[in-house]
Structures are given as structure tokens and as C-alpha cells.
Structure 1
Amino acid sequence: MLKTTLEQWRMFRSVAEYGGFNQAGQEVHKSQSSIYNAVQKLENSLGVKLLEVKGRRTHLTEAGELMLRRANYLLDEAAKLESIAQEVGKGCETKLRIAVDEIFPQDFLYRVLDKVSQEFPMLNIELQESVLTGASELLAQEKVDLAISPFIEHRGFSEELCLVEFVAVAHPDHPLHHCDRPLTFDCLRSHRQIVVRDSAMGQGQDSGWLGADSRWTVSHIRTSVEMISRGLGYAFLPITAITEQLNQGLLKPLPLGSAGRRKGQLYLMFNDGDMLGPAARTLMAEIRFQSEQISVIQYPRTASE
């Protein structure tokens, strides 16, 4: 059985924070005697002197400094515990697990997460970034509550979210931009393609044109973007991931006409709507709102297109 109470630790901290029993009483709206008695009981229970009076101020002893650090942690955790209990009492989740495909624009994702966290400050969000069927697999295995994926998990609920445009790009100095004949897919075969690996642990899914004789396979879109920006190959990449590089002239759409562009559908998915709390529903509503803005992000067509 514990010898001390949270209230005693709170009174002790207030004396240490405000420099005396009288000052603490004024701040926490307690009488000086009640604070003094609480601290005295605390010291007697522990058998340790926590405070000593020097002049007109009360100071921490060496043991008191150690105990104060621990008390701060204890009281902060107690306050968090009460906040969590209030959230749970309202039916709010304490944790939300989501898997998001890397082609979903990061700027939009960050806005969604920030908005939800402002409304539910005690919510812990676990984000897993995935590629191709990775998000669907995580949802199927019930490792996440929500998923944004280009591939549908048929056992749950899914809705069309947005279309993401892909464009074939390479560095402006790449040989593909300086061919002496119209560029075709046959021309691409002899140059290195950068491909992003499916993040699913099971049977992965190939996607897009994979006809190059030489391929480098990487795990993340940002790795592909960096490689291509250095002239190490070409790839079909989502416009939303390369807008900055296009504007800076580090990447340039390949002159393939309409064949150099394609669109990928993203889906918002979950397994059981009845299991989703208010935080999850708020997140879904914000994702829908932000996704409506994605279609306006397009890079101007070149003359050849």
C-alpha cells in the first residue's frame, strides 16, 4: 500500500515552485497550514527531509531535488491519465493507426494529421507509409484502422478518393531528352528505369510500364526522385511528389505525348465502420476535403503533348 498521496506531492511541488508555504497557499488556494501539514506528512512517511528554510525562503534539500523531478513526472502522468479517461468516457479513441500510400501528397497528409490532432490533442497517431499493395495488406491483417491505397481490399469498405497524375520524367541533361528521333517506349528500353518496390510482405504487385532492360528498384518514392534528379535514370512519378523539382528544372517530362502521362486512383478504406470513433471519422472527413483539392495540382503540358 502506498504511503503517500498525489495531493501531498502536489503540495510539495507547489512549495518548491513558489518558494514557500505562504506563497504556495496563495497560488493553489489552500491555507498555509494545510500545505505545511501535507508536506510534513510526506516527509514523515518517506523518512526524508525534502525542504529546508533559509532566511525567508524555503529551499529544496538534495533529496528534495531528486524527489521533485520524480514528482513532476508522476503528477504530469496523473494529469494525462485523467485527460485520457475523459476522452474515453466521451467515446474517443486514444490511438489511431493509418496506412497511407506514398503517392498521396505529403502536404495534404500533414494538414489532415495536424487538423485532427488539434481537435483531439490526446490522440496518438501511428502512420505507416506504404507502396502499391502495402496499405491494403496492412488493413487486411488488421494492423491499421484506415488505409489509403491504389488497390482495393475487397473484404472491407472502400470509396474512391482521388486521382493522382503520373508523368514520365528524367533530368534535363538525360540522353532521353536529346534523341535525334521522336521518343517512343522502344527508346526507353535501353535506358535505366527507377522502380519503387511494393511494400507488401506477401505477394507484391507490379505497376506501370516495366519494359526497361535495366532497372534499379528502391523502397521509397523520394529515393527515386533524388536518383532521377541526379541524372541516374527515368521513371513515372506522381506530379504531387515532384512539383518542386519540375519548377526548379531538376526534372523534365519526357516528350512521349499523352503516353508519358497516366492517372492512378486512390481509395479510402476501412474494415468496420462501427468500430471507428469520432477521431477516425474526423480524419476521414478531412481526407475527403483535402483530396478534392488534389485534382488542381497539374504540371503544364509540353508542346509535344
Structure 2
Amino acid sequence: MLDRHHLMILRAVNQQGSLTAAADTLCLTQSALSHSIRKLEQQLGTPVWQKEGRRLRLTQAGEYLLRLAERLLPQFEHAEALMQQFASGQRGTLRIGMECHPCYQWLLKVVNPYLQQWPDVDVDVRQKFQFGGMGALYGHEIDLLVTPDPLLRSGLIFEPVFDYEQVLVVGPEHPLQGQLQVEPDQLSQDTLITYPVEPDRLDIFNRFLTPAGCSPRRHKQIETTDIMLQMVAAGRGVAALPGWLVSEYQQRLPLHPLRLGPKGVDKQIFLGLRKDDINTDYLHAFVELARTHNTLTPRPDHHAAD
């Protein structure tokens, strides 16, 4: 009654916005696509679309089938891709999802030796997910999730791979330069530069500023680490980043890290994967290799006294 072809049509219409565009994507005629959906509706005994002028709106039944399509179709497509790789003599592709913007530099240190050790495995890195990183793992969009904020869920495992300290980084002319630590109220006149992430998911807010009832004068979002730290070095704002990353950039930029509060903000990076995949050799090998490439974070006061 209900097969993969119907789910593909629903997803294509939702993505393309019209029957005509969806038909082109699926290499079908519009009439063939419409006939297929009408036949499905007859079999189900309920409509999946309703017309609103020239537009189509999914019914409740259609919305359910669309969610089903978005969960199941990536798994079909992943399985088919794997079968093609197996048939051509390749082991597969390791798809890594990133929920940690500053972790790309660390990831590169792991990927390079991994590719040498596993020549028959490709690596693909993804940052944007339809349903977030957790949904991407569940939906088989990715095989590993790099995240500092794991959420324990049935069927998933999160392996810690290294510890680090989140620090505040300021430029050479900043009034806080030379101090060992910073308190939340001392940022009330600063421009805080962060990655484009919701504030409630940023440690500088949820573990430092918000509990103290404080906020920066301005919050500015920048996507790239290089531009962010150049802005900080030029006195255009401050940023909260992993201490190990700041230490690397100090080799070419005048940056000064400060501890966030007297105890600091300690963090871990985790690799999340599905329990069913834990014994997959090339996934397990990546996790083990990641542990050997942990980055020891110099304490901020080592630099603040320079």
C-alpha cells in the first residue's frame, strides 16, 4: 500500500514547493506524479494534500507521512550508498557531524592520520542538519557527532575524547588584559563575539553570565574563528573559546586568555554514535584515534602573567 516511492514524492514536493518542480526532480511527468498520489489517497482512504488556491497544503495525514519520509529515506539512501561502495571495493564513508564550531582545527589533526590508516574509508564533515545533531544521528544522516554538550538518549553512546577549559580572550589594549580572571559584571560594557549559536546553548551565557544576572553591552555573531579572533585582537570585542584554540592563535595574534570566574569553566568534547555501530571497525578506530589527539590546555594564568 505505502511504499518508498510515495515517501519520495512527498519529500520532493515539500522541498521543491510545487508538483512541477518535484516531478522534474524525480524524473516524472506531473500527471504521473499526481496519479501516484491520488492512488495512494484512495488506498489510504484519506487525503494527504489539500488545495489552497494554487498551493498545496499537507493534511494531518500528509504531515505524518512527510515526517516518516524524512526519517526513513536518509536511511535507505545511506544503505544504498554503502552497498555501492562495498561493490566497488571501498569500506564506506565516515560522515562526521559538527556541533562544535571551534573544533575543526582539532578534527583536522585526527582526520589526516585516520585517512592514512584507513585508505578505503572516505570522510565527510557536515555542520548543518535538518533536525539538529541528535536527529542527524538517529536519522542516519551522520555516523559520528562531535559535540561539547551530549544529550543522553536511548540508542546513542557519547564517548569523551578530551577535556579543555573555556576562557575569555581579550586583545592587548583591553582593560582586562593582565588580569588572571574575569567576573560576569566586568563584561557589561563589552561586545561579546560568538559563533552563530543560540545564546542558551553557549557556555559563556548559560554557565557564566546568565546565572549571575549579567549580560554584555552587545552580542555579535561571526561564523569563522579567524575573523572572530582578528576582531578581538583589534579591540572590537571579546570572545569565549577553548583555551587550546586560543593558545594556537597566540602564535600569530596578540591575544590574552582569562579564566571565567575563580574556578573556570571546564568542558569536554564527546563523540556520539549509535549503539548499533559501536563495533564497526572504522568507527571505533576513529574514536580511539581521537583520544590520542587530545589537546592539553595551558591554564589561562600562564599567559596572563606574560
**Counterpart mapping for 1:52-67 below 5 A:** none
| Residue matched to 2:242 | 238
Report the Cα offset of residue 118 of structure 1: 1.5
Call closer, same or farther: CA 1:104–1:286 in 2, change over 3 Å: farther
**Counterpart mapping for 1:191-202 below 5 A:** 191-198=190-197
Task: Say whether 1:216 aligns with 2:220.
Answer: yes
Q: What 5-or-longer segments of structure 1 have no aligned partner?
A: 1-80
Task: Say whether 1:227 aligns with 2:225.
Answer: no
Whole-angstrom CA distance in 2 between matches of 1:184 and 1:267: 28
The one of 104, 107, 110 equivalent to 1:109 is 107
**Counterpart mapping for 1:120-199 below 5 A:** 120-129=118-127, 135-155=133-153, 156-177=156-177, 184-198=183-197
**Counterpart mapping for 1:247-262 below 5 A:** 247-248=251-252, 250-254=254-258, 258=262, 261-262=264-265
The one of 264, 273, 288 equivalent to 1:270 is 273
Report the Cα offset of residue 257 of structure 1: 6.1
Call closer, same or farther: CA 1:95–1:183 in 2, change over 3 Å: closer
Whole-angstrom CA distance in 2 between matches of 1:296 and 1:230: 24
The amino acid across from 1:147 in the alignment is L
Whole-angstrom CA distance in 2 between matches of 1:114 and 1:224: 26
Call closer, same or farther: CA 1:277–1:157 in 2, change over 3 Å: same
Call closer, same or farther: CA 1:275–1:160 in 2, change over 3 Å: closer
Report the Cα offset of residue 116 of structure 1: 2.1
Percent sequence identity over matched residues? 20
Call closer, same or farther: CA 1:255–1:138 in 2, change over 3 Å: closer
Contact 2:193 2:228 in 1 (8 A): yes
Report the Cα offset of residue 143 of structure 1: 1.5
Whole-angstrom CA distance in 2 between matches of 1:160 and 1:229: 32
The one of 200, 205, 224 equivalent to 2:201 is 205
Whole-angstrom CA distance in 2 between matches of 1:178 and 1:298: 14
- SS at 2:149 equivalent: coil
The one of 285, 289, 300 equivalent to 1:286 is 289
Whole-angstrom CA distance in 1 between matches of 2:282 and 2:227: 32
Contact 2:278 2:284 in 1 (8 A): no
Report the Cα offset of residue 87 of structure 1: 3.8
Whole-angstrom CA distance in 1 between matches of 2:165 and 2:116: 31
The amino acid across from 2:150 in the alignment is I
Call closer, same or farther: CA 1:296–1:235 in 2, change over 3 Å: closer
Q: What 5-or-longer segments of structure 2 have no aligned partner?
A: 1-82, 210-214
- SS at 1:208 equivalent: helix
Whole-angstrom CA distance in 1 between matches of 2:126 and 2:158: 18
The amino acid across from 1:165 in the alignment is E
Report the Cα offset of residue 106 of structure 1: 4.2
Contact 1:98 1:147 in 2 (8 A): yes
Report the Cα offset of residue 299 of structure 1: 4.8
Q: Which has the higher Rg, Structure 1 or Structure 2?
A: 1
Task: Say whether 1:301 aligns with 2:302.
Answer: yes
Whole-angstrom CA distance in 1 between matches of 2:275 and 2:251: 42
| Count of residue pairs brought into register by the alignment | 212
The amino acid across from 2:191 in the alignment is R
Whole-angstrom CA distance in 1 between matches of 2:182 and 2:93: 50
RMSD between superposed Cα atoms in Å:
3.7
Q: Compute the TM-score of the two structures, normalised by the length of structure 1.
A: 0.57
Report the Cα offset of residue 166 of structure 1: 1.5
